[in-house]
């Protein structure tokens, strides 16, 4: 259960992103051998000794207090996603065998009640996914809107595989590069939360082997929150769609999120959703 390499790479990559000027420190220009902060500068900003910070950056977070982690997050100017990732790495570093064995595993299936809620959302394309981006449940309009991503041969569609391994993804997602970067960051954050998920490890290994872009971005150790925003799609039947989305945690189902998409009434996107909904409504609802 040694995650030292993950900790080391994450901290060094964050340190490299902070310039002395951004940290409010003097910059001696050509005398510097690194573009980001030195270890001693991070230690100064965090209020710890250089030896102690060096120990942390070498991957040893055993016994580190919450106050030290908070000081480290401030020194490295971590955002909310990065701060949560650091806490996840520390939690794993301090976990015992009993803790790992007793941890609640992410839900593998979707409860009937959740599917009923999905089905009731007749004008909002929606699906439920886990942290690996497996789509576990979807409503009729969601299946119609995301047909290119969901209609493959796999019993359980996986959005990361579609985005990085299916050429159709770059035609379907108009902002493919941005979305692909988000996907890598989501999987990296999930790896911090659940580093012993064998299926996640296998997925990352497959994507790293088959996609040079994924492999390069994975090495950057970026993490990101992905809870709301806008997606631009090119649907094969109704053309371009710009949809807002909300990603909601299902608090009763560990590790699952409901992603719901929407369009403002009176817009072409709303009319397109109405059209797709009419084409794909269940027989009993027509």
CATH number of the domain where residue 198 is located: 3.30.450.180
Q: Are residues 96 and 119 in the same domain?
A: no
- d(CA 86, CA 29) in angstroms, rounded, equals 30
Total-model pTM: 0.90
Q: Are residues 65 and 180 in the same domain?
A: no
Listed in sequence order, the residues at least 6 apart from 252 whose beta carbon sits closer than 8 Å to its beta carbon are 111
Last residue of a domain, one of 70, 102, 134: 102
Q: Answer whether residue 272 is part of any domain.
A: yes
Q: Are residues 170 and 267 in the same domain?
A: yes
Q: Answer whether residue 45 is part of any domain.
A: yes
Other C-beta atoms within 10 Å of 30: how many? Answer: 5
Select from 145, 114, 144 the least CA-distant residue to 129: 114
If you average pLDDT over residues 129-154, what whole number do you get? Answer: 94
- CB of 133 closer than 8 Å to CB of 157: no
Q: Are residues 143 and 251 in the same domain?
A: yes
Q: Are residues 263 and 155 in the same domain?
A: yes
Q: Are residues 51 and 123 in the same domain?
A: no
Q: Are residues 274 and 229 in the same domain?
A: yes
If you average pLDDT over residues 199-218, what whole number do you get? Answer: 97
Which range is least confidently modeled, 46-60, 93-107, 213-227, 233-247?
A: 93-107
| CB burial readout 200-227, b (16+ within 10 A) else e | beebbebbeeebeebeebbeebbbbebe
Last residue of a domain, one of 102, 120, 148: 102
Q: Answer whether residue 10 is part of any domain.
A: yes
Q: Are residues 171 and 279 in the same domain?
A: yes
CA 178 to chain centre: 12
Q: Are residues 132 and 91 in the same domain?
A: no
What's the total number of domains in the chain? 2
Q: What is the pLDDT of residue 102?
A: 57
Q: Are residues 140 and 253 in the same domain?
A: yes
Q: How far apart, in Å, do the first and last CA atoms of the chain sit? A: 54
Which range is least confidently modeled, 41-50, 51-60, 113-122, 191-200?
A: 191-200
Q: Answer whether residue 195 is part of any domain.
A: yes
Structural domain including 26 reads 4-102
If you average pLDDT over residues 180-185, what whole number do you get? Answer: 97
Ordered strands of the 228-235 beta sheet:
135-138, 126-129, 257-262, 239-249, 228-235
- Given a cut of 50, is residue 284 above it in pLDDT? no
Taking CA atoms, 68 is separated from 72, 73, 94, in Å, by 6, 9, 15
Q: Answer whether residue 259 is part of any domain.
A: yes
Cα angle: 99, vertex 74, 7; to 5 degrees: 40
- Given a cut of 60, is residue 170 above it in pLDDT? yes
CA 104 to chain centre: 20
Q: Answer whether residue 65 is part of any domain.
A: yes
- d(CA 276, CA 145) in angstroms, rounded, equals 8
Q: Answer whether residue 15 is part of any domain.
A: yes
Q: Answer whether residue 107 is part of any domain.
A: no
Q: Are residues 30 and 58 in the same domain?
A: yes
In eight-state DSSP terms, residue 48 is: S
Q: Looking up tokens 């039947």, which residue turns up?
A: 237
- Given a cut of 90, is residue 152 above it in pLDDT? no
- CB of 128 closer than 8 Å to CB of 111: no
Q: Are residues 127 and 220 in the same domain?
A: yes
Q: What is the pLDDT of residue 286?
A: 46
If you average pLDDT over residues 218-226, what whole number do you get? Answer: 93
If you average pLDDT over residues 141-160, what whole number do you get? Answer: 93
If you average pLDDT over residues 34-44, what whole number do you get? Answer: 91
- d(CA 256, CA 188) in angstroms, rounded, equals 16
**CATH code, domain with 55:** 1.10.260.40
Last residue of a domain, one of 102, 136, 171: 102
């Amino acid at each position: 259960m040694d995650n030292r390499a993950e900790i080391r790479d994450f901290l060094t990559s964050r340190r490299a992103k902070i310039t002395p000027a951004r940290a409010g420190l003097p910059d001696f220009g050509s005398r510097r051998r690194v573009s980001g902060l030195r270890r001693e500068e991070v230690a100064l900003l965090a209020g710890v000794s250089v030896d102690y910070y060096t120990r942390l950056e070498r991957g040893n977070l055993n016994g580190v207090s919450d106050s030290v982690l908070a000081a480290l997050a401030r020194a490295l100017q971590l955002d909310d996603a990065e701060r949560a990732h650091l806490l996840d790495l520390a939690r794993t570093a301090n976990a015992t065998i009993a803790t790992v064995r007793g941890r609640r595993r992410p839900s593998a299936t979707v409860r009937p009640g959740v599917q009923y809620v999905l089905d009731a959302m007749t004008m909002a394309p929606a699906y439920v996914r886990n942290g690996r981006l497996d789509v576990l449940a979807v409503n009729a309009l969601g299946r119609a809107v995301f047909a290119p991503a969901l209609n493959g041969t796999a019993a359980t569609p996986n959005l990361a595989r579609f985005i990085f391994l299916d050429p159709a993804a770059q035609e379907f997602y108009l902002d493919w590069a941005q979305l692909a970067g988000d996907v890598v960051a989501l999987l990296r954050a999930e790896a911090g939360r659940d580093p012993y998920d064998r299926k996640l490890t296998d997925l990352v290994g497959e994507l790293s082997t088959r996609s040079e872009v994924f492999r390069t971005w994975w090495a950057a150790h970026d993490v990101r929150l992905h809870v709301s925003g806008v997606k631009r799609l090119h649907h094969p039947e109704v053309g371009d769609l710009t949809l807002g989305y909300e990603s909601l945690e299902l608090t009763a189902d560990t590790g699952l999120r409901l992603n719901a998409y929407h369009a403002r009434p009176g817009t072409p996107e709303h009319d397109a959703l109405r059209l797709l909904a009419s084409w794909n409504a269940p027989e009993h609802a027509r």
